[in-house]
Amino acid sequence: MDGESKGSECCNQKGLVERFDSTVGAGTVLMPFGGKYSLTPTEGMVCKIPVLSGETNTCTIMTHGYNPRLAKWSPFHGAMYAVIESISKVVALGGDYKKIRLTLQEYFEKLGSNREKWGKPFSALLGAFYVQKKLDIPAIGGKDSMSGTFKDLNVPPTLVSFAVNTADSRRVISPEFKKASSNIVLIPLKKDERNIPDFQGLDRNYSRIYKLIQDGKILSAGAVRVGGIGSAISKMAFGNKIGAVLKEMEISQLFKADYGSMIVEIESNEDIEHLLEGVEYKILGKTQRKKTIDVNGVSIDLEEALGAWREPLKDIFIIKEDEAGTPRKISYEGGSRIKSSIKIAKPRVFIPVFPGTNCEYDTARAFEKAGGIEETFVLNNLTPVDIEKSIEKMVEKINSSQIIALPGGFSAGDEPDGSGKFIAAVFRNPRVEEAVMDLIKNRDGLILGICNGFQALIKLGLLPYGEIRDMDEGCPTLTFNKIGRHVSCMSMTRVVSNLSPWLNNVEVGDVHRIAISHGEGRFVASEEVMNELIENGQIATQYVDFDGNPSYDGEFNPNGSLDAVEAITSPDGRILGKMGHSERVGKDICKNILGNKEQKLFEAGIRYFA
């Protein structure tokens, strides 16, 4: 059967994936890349069902399957194994394959009157339908076949299978190895001489794997596909840089695209024979603390393997761009954890929503959970009259609120001339400006801006100056990320100042793992301004490495900010702007990423008035 690894098919695609926002909605159960080092690709998308209030453990799983080389060799087998691949990924994540629903995407060359061409989509659909009948899994619609021909260029026979399912977020697992000395076990899927799977064996295997995951007996699981066992184990090792010692194995078996087979990690103290009774399995070896993969007398350093994995697409989808030099390590403990002179049991939080804002629900929930009353207001800019009415309403709501929170998003598409300018233009309206400055100067209020909101605060001058003022070229700004693209990942930030009441619930030196999602997050300022901000304690947090040191390494500083700045405050600390999405936290959120994700930022803002 064709479909063996050709090298580039199983390479790193992190630079492509990070172009898309993976954490918006504060419902992401598994990040696309997991582990301490965020390097093990997740088998599929897992997100919580959105709810307007309360919490839920119900999440959705979505996976896909397709191998163009296999489909070109045999459209029937290509479609059959596309479906099996999508199913196996759901099982590896902790889903029950019997509850899966499929949807199919077909894409074939222009058929005309050629019988052989007509046979390709027909045999592909038969292959997909064959699996559905054998496993009693329905498809719920799909995309009509399209013509994939341009002059003399034809697409390979394409039937992509998408599998969807629901699961309990508490039982979902991720593929990166979790511990050293665990057993690495292969649960193979048998095929006959025509490469047709043993579907009874598949049912037995996947049913048992599902039960063991629900019982907490499987620590991690990975589906075998292109690249075979070798590729699967390498990727499982990358996330936490936990190595593996494997038994002797033929090269042909090590890299065979053995679709439907599964690799699972089981703790060393478990009785594997009992757990997998009635299921065919093979113990491949053990995980190890040593950062190598040892097999057939060869020891492969994980860093060397990572380099090879990254190489094919490193210049196409850039992951990071490092800058020479070392950022200053900032520490300021001159704050006094101030409280408001105005005491309010349930402070009101005004959250304006502009065209392009996409984090208002997450922000509102965070403040409500902290004990505040959120006042979300959608600005209507359809006509000049609508804008005028919206301005009036904004002023009214600001005057009745204690906190203004500017959520993230892409206001007015952030074009032209950069991000946050539409929000800034609205807030420069004389009536809005007067209400904002009254809140700050006379009513002891707070302002928070996250991501797009931070960009707006910078453009207004509220950061770092504490007042709305005209800005010039000498003022700080937020500009395009150093790598020249949007980046979505989890970054580590260190609290470096206790000036701001927004940080009353954390200590200087605390490190948090925070969701990042922006294209213009690089903080830049003149040397004179930077020195002043540092001296005043206005640098709130910095991007740091695993040792807590600020860094220009793109792995840790995703946008290349000067002195690794992630957040700054006004001179009195009551206005805070930050790029990291502190609102994107919750139970079972980003559970494949290690670290403390809860800054208790919103609680601190609400308790400021207690």
- 298-301, strands of its sheet edge to edge: 220-223, 262-266, 183-187, 282-288, 243-246, 292-295, 298-301
Q: Is residue 328 part of a domain?
A: no
Same domain, 358 and 255: no
Q: Higher pLDDT residue, 416 or 453?
A: 453
Within 10 angstroms of residue 269's Cβ, the number of other Cβ atoms is: 8
Q: Is residue 333 part of a domain?
A: no
Same domain, 303 and 362: no
Same domain, 15 and 155: yes
Distance between CA 355 and CA 378 in Å, rounded?
Answer: 8
Would you state the pLDDT for residue 417? Answer: 60
pLDDT band of residue 442 (cuts 50, 70, 90) is very high
Within 10 angstroms of residue 587's Cβ, the number of other Cβ atoms is: 12
Same domain, 39 and 88: yes
Pair 161, 82: CB distance under 8 Å: yes
Mean pLDDT score across all residues of the chain: 94
Non-local (6+) Cβ contacts of 279 within 8 A are 187, 204, 205, 208
SS3 43: coil
Gyration radius (Cα) of the chain, Å: 27
Q: What is the mean pLDDT of residues 433-459?
A: 97
Would you state the pLDDT for residue 414? Answer: 61
Is a pLDDT exceeding 50 seen at residue 5?
A: no
Same domain, 307 and 357: no
Would you state the pLDDT for residue 473? Answer: 87
Cis status, amide bond into 68, omega within 30 of 0: no
Our count of domains for the chain comes to 2
Would you state the pLDDT for residue 411? Answer: 77
Is a pLDDT exceeding 60 seen at residue 4?
A: no
Task: Count the residues in the chain.
Answer: 610
Provide the residue range defining the domain that includes 122: 8-313
What's the burial of 441, exposed, middle or buried (CB within 10 Å: 0-12/13-18/19+)? exposed
SS3 432: helix
Distance between CA 453 and CA 423 in Å, rounded?
Answer: 8
Same domain, 427 and 486: yes
Q: Is residue 343 part of a domain?
A: no
Distance between CA 200 and CA 602 in Å, rounded?
Answer: 52
Q: Comparing C-alpha atoms, which of 368, 379, 330, 259 is closest to residue 531?
A: 330
Quote the tokens at residue 354. Answer: 């502009």
Q: What is the mean pLDDT of residues 331-341?
A: 89
Q: Which of the residues are catalytic?
A: 451, 581, 583
Distance between CA 75 and CA 119 in Å, rounded?
Answer: 9
Q: Comparing C-alpha atoms, which of 203, 355, 177 is closest to residue 278?
A: 203
Is a pLDDT exceeding 80 seen at residue 108?
A: yes
Pair 401, 348: CB distance under 8 Å: yes
Distance between CA 540 and CA 548 in Å, rounded?
Answer: 15
Backbone angles phi, psi at 73, to 5 degrees: -65, -45
Same domain, 355 and 436: yes
Same domain, 373 and 506: yes
DSSP state letters, 206-264: HHHHHHHHHTT--SEEEE--TTHHHHHHHHHHHTTT-EEEE----HHHHS---TT-EEE
Distance between CA 368 and CA 406 in Å, rounded?
Answer: 15
Per-residue burial over 100-123, b = 16 or more CB atoms within 10 Å of its CB, e = otherwise: bebbbbbbbbebeeeeebeebbeb
Q: Comparing C-alpha atoms, which of 428, 540, 528, 520 is closest to residue 474?
A: 528
pLDDT digits (tens, 9 = 90+) for 86-102: 999 999 999 999 999 99
Last residue of a domain, one of 262, 288, 313: 313
Per-residue burial over 376-406, b = 16 or more CB atoms within 10 Å of its CB, e = otherwise: bbebeeeeeeeeeebbeebbebbeebbbbbb
pLDDT digits (tens, 9 = 90+) for 201-213: 999 999 999 999 9
Q: Is residue 462 part of a domain?
A: yes
Same domain, 95 and 168: yes
Q: Is residue 319 part of a domain?
A: no
Is a pLDDT exceeding 90 seen at residue 477?
A: yes
Distance between CA 87 and CA 512 in Å, rounded?
Answer: 35
pTM equals: 0.94
Q: Comparing C-alpha atoms, which of 264, 254, 262 is closest to residue 217?
A: 264
Last residue of a domain, one of 313, 340, 362: 313
DSSP state letters, 83-147: HHHHHHHHHHHT--GGG-EEEEEEEB---TT-HHHHHHHHHHHHHHHHHHHHHT--EEEEEPP-B
Is a pLDDT exceeding 80 seen at residue 65?
A: yes
Q: Is residue 292 part of a domain?
A: yes
Same domain, 307 and 206: yes
In the chain, % of residues over pLDDT 90: 89
Q: What is the mean pLDDT of residues 463-485?
A: 93
Is a pLDDT exceeding 50 seen at residue 3?
A: no
Backbone angles phi, psi at 532, to 5 degrees: -65, -45
Per-residue burial over 277-300, b = 16 or more CB atoms within 10 Å of its CB, e = otherwise: eebebeebbbbbeebbbebeeeeb
Same domain, 256 and 309: yes
Would you state the pLDDT for residue 10? Answer: 82
SS3 278: coil
> How many CA atoms lie less than 13 Å away from 70 in the CB half-sphere?
29
Q: What is the CATH number of the domain that holds 385?
A: 3.40.50.880
Same domain, 291 and 374: no
Distance between CA 372 and CA 237 in Å, rounded?
Answer: 43
Lowest mean pLDDT among 9-23, 144-158, 349-363, 378-392: 144-158
Is a pLDDT exceeding 80 seen at residue 168?
A: yes
Lowest mean pLDDT among 209-218, 329-338, 485-494, 584-593: 329-338
Q: What is the CATH number of the domain that holds 193?
A: 3.90.650.10
pLDDT band of residue 412 (cuts 50, 70, 90) is low
Non-local (6+) Cβ contacts of 265 within 8 A are 177, 178, 179, 182, 183, 184, 185, 218, 219, 220, 221, 236, 287
Q: Is residue 341 part of a domain?
A: no
Quote the tokens at residue 287. Answer: 């995980």
Last residue of a domain, one of 264, 298, 313: 313
Q: What is the mean pLDDT of residues 445-459?
A: 97
Pair 533, 525: CB distance under 8 Å: yes
pLDDT digits (tens, 9 = 90+) for 574-592: 999 999 999 999 999 999 9
Distance between CA 516 and CA 564 in Å, rounded?
Answer: 14
Q: Is residue 3 part of a domain?
A: no
Cis status, amide bond into 32, omega within 30 of 0: no
Q: Is the dihedral of CA 442, 438, 452, 520 positive or negative?
A: negative
